[in-house]
Amino acid sequence: MANVFITAFRVSGWVGFHFSKTVLFSIEPCDYNYGGVTLSFIRNRSLKSTILVIIIPIIMLFVFITGLFSYLLASSQLQKNAFTSISDTVSQTQRFLNDKLTDVVTSLTILVSDSDLSDITMRTENPAYNLQTEDYLQLNRVLNRASPDRALIDSTLILYNHDRPAFYRKDDLTEQVKFSLEPYRLGQATDPISVIHWVTLHTDPFGASFNQNDSGKVVSLYNLLGKDVEHSKGIILFNIKDSFFQTILSNPAISNNGYLCLISDDGIISYKKVAGKYRIKDSELQPIILQTTQASGQITITNEYGNEMLIVYDTLRINKWKIAAVVPKDELLHNVNYIKYLILVIMFILFVIVIFFSNFLANIITKPIIQLTRKINSIEEGNLDIEFRDLSRNEIGVLNKGIRDMIHRIKQLLKQIEKEQEKKRKAELAALQFQIRPHFLYNTLYSIKHLIEMDEKKEASQMVTSLSDFFRISISKGNEIIPVSQEIEHIKHYFTIQELRYGDSFTYEIDVEPAILDFKIVKLTLQPIVENAIYHGIKNSLKKGHIRIKAFIQDDDCIIRIEDNGAGMAPEQLDQINVSLSNMNMSEDGAGFGIYNVHKRLQLNYGMKYGLSYESSSETGTVVIVTFR
């Protein structure tokens, strides 16, 4: 806390206080150096703006970092979940298809080894043998056993001898059809190791004759009867319903433009209709998937429209077909973008909340400080009558209480200083008065002695009378401050005494405005000035002297001009007097004892801007200006 220096002075009966340092306390902002960088921008900011400038960016940075990491973690998890979901869908679909098709293969295998069918095949090896009623009944039982799952199997075909008609069964109806074995022999030749052979989605040539509304699309699996391709003489064929694959491949909701497909060597089965820009050509997709060495996995392909397509695939163990999910990557990451925009919105809302909260917090912190600052500014203007309310018991409350107690103490000190200064002023003024009286008395008594020695008793008697009148007025019942009218009467008696001493060597003139007569002036102000005018001005001049006193009011100040036409002063001497009066220094070359005494008494009563000032030039005389109020 800075020191407070107080100067008390009295002007026209009132006491004023001057603060030589008006700042009661100050918190000097310091330079914050981090790695040589000076944060000087904080120095000239208010406390509130400093708090906002520091807190808001820091909190926003934390919010941004939190949002960024949240977005990265969420997007990573969403992508992982999306890939996992698609992989799970493909895997589950693969297992379901594999289980269902395994059941069909099992039924086909059982039918191939059926004893009734073997008996019929052996009997019909003789070309002359014609089927009997019992054979037809036995064959019908075989066909009934060949349809284990009516919801899955569309139709069944048995050709037990290539030169006889084939038996085709669908919807519990059986008919004999003409069937060529050659295309299926070629199919077996492409995969000679496998016993069960598959044909991808195709049209059943016999289905339309049973149901006109049927699409006729089926997936076939068959087993050739015989030792090898060349000696195969029959076939057992199951047709699986198209609706079975359609239900399985269409139901899983992968994405708006994602789809499932079955991929085999002879084609691709896919049902979902998607926009062309999100589809991969079968001729491009089939070789890529079939050439993969892993049973399951994922790859990314850019289609002809420039869209990145994610393909997640798995392999059916029963027939090595591939089931694949084809998904546009931008749709796969749609939820990631949603999360991104959601986090941006949340971050924006948090930014607004941070700004509002920071401003609110800054107001809570700085409001009592601002109130204290305003009070201190009021104190700086000289107003000590300030009310300090009790604040909370935190640091601001302690500071508020400290300033309040300090102001109370300052008021007590000011009252004490006022009393002490008043006592000091009176004592100093009285001392100056007592100093000036012997000085004048000495000169006057010396003049009376001189008149008596010259046997001029009448003049000496008159001088004694004027001297007594002079001291009667100067005593003024003990008052230090007297009206201007009394000071003028006082100086007239002094002129009378000096005329008795110097005869007609000088004349005087007194011109006083009536309005100034009632103003108060320090007694014995004019006498030392007039004495100097006589002794140092007129006495040293060869011409007859003249002293003119003029008193008037100017700009609310009282002015008394004492002019003489004496010898005057050189510029150097005039400067020395004015400087000594300005610096309150008494010296032989500057202001003498009497002038210094008058000047100091005026300033003690009226203030530092009042007192004496001199104007003079050689051979033209001197003007002394007395200023008071």
Q: Which position has the token pair 């798995």?
A: 314
Question: Which strand ranges, in their side-by-side order, compose the sheet holding 217-225?
Answer: 173-177, 166-170, 153-159, 234-241, 217-225, 197-203
CA 602-484-529 angle, to 5 degrees, is 55
User: Could you tell me where the beta strands, DSSP code E, fall in 398-491?
Assistant: 481-483
Q: Which position has the token pair 């000011």?
A: 414
Q: Give me the long-range contacts of 307-310 (CB less than 8 A, separation at least 24).
A: 307/277, 307/278, 309/278, 309/280, 310/83, 310/86
How far apart CA 348 and CA 244 sit, in angstroms, is 51
- What is the mean predicted confidence (pLDDT) over 482-489? 90
Phi-psi region of 502 (alpha: psi -120 to 50; beta: other; left: phi over 0): alpha
Q: Which range is most confident: 74-88, 156-170, 483-497?
A: 483-497
Assess whether pLDDT exceeds 50 at residue 2.
no
- What is the mean predicted confidence (pLDDT) over 42-56? 72
Is there a contact between 161 and 121 (Cβ–Cβ < 8 Å)?
Answer: yes
Q: Closest Cα to residue 437, out of 535, 522, 528, 534?
A: 528
- What is the mean predicted confidence (pLDDT) over 130-147? 77
Give pLDDT, residue 22: 37
User: How crowded is the C-beta side of 565, counted as CA atoms within 13 Å?
Assistant: 12
Give pLDDT, residue 3: 41
Assess whether pLDDT exceeds 70 at residue 41.
no
Q: Which of 97-106, 409-418, 461-470 has the lowest mean pLDDT?
A: 461-470
How far apart CA 89 and CA 74 sit, in angstroms, is 22
- What is the mean predicted confidence (pLDDT) over 247-263? 87
Q: What is the pLDDT of residues 205-239, one digit of tens each?
A: 887 666 655 668 899 999 888 766 666 778 889 99
Q: What is the pLDDT of residues 387-430, one digit of tens each?
A: 666 666 667 777 777 777 887 788 788 888 888 777 676 666 55
Identity (one letter) of the amino acid at 80?
K
Assess whether pLDDT exceeds 80 at residue 602.
yes
Q: How confident is the model at residue 263 (pLDDT cuts 50, 70, 90)?
A: very high
Alpha-carbon distances, residue 8 vs 270, 417, 461 (angstroms): 106, 7, 47
What is the overall mean pLDDT for the chain?
Answer: 79
How far apart CA 112 and CA 222 sit, in angstroms, is 10
pTM: 0.51
- Please state the φ and ψ torsions of residue 543, each to the nearest 5 degrees: -95, 165
The number of helices, as runs of H, and strands, as runs of E, in the chain is 14, 22
Q: What is the pLDDT of residues 363-382, one digit of tens each?
A: 777 777 777 777 777 777 77
Q: What is the pLDDT of residues 567-592, one digit of tens each?
A: 888 888 888 888 888 876 665 555 67
Instruction: Return all residues near 593 (Cβ < 8 A) that are at least 6 apart.
Output: 435, 439, 586
Which residue segments constitute the domains of the chain, with CATH numbers given?
99-331 (no CATH), 415-628 (3.30.565.10)
Q: Kindly state the percentage of the chain with pLDDT values over 90.
A: 19
Q: What is the pLDDT of residues 504-557, one digit of tens each?
A: 888 999 999 999 999 999 888 898 899 888 888 888 787 889 999 999 999 989
CA 302-308-311 angle, to 5 degrees, is 90
How far apart CA 275 and CA 280 sit, in angstroms, is 10
CA 586-588-594 angle, to 5 degrees, is 55
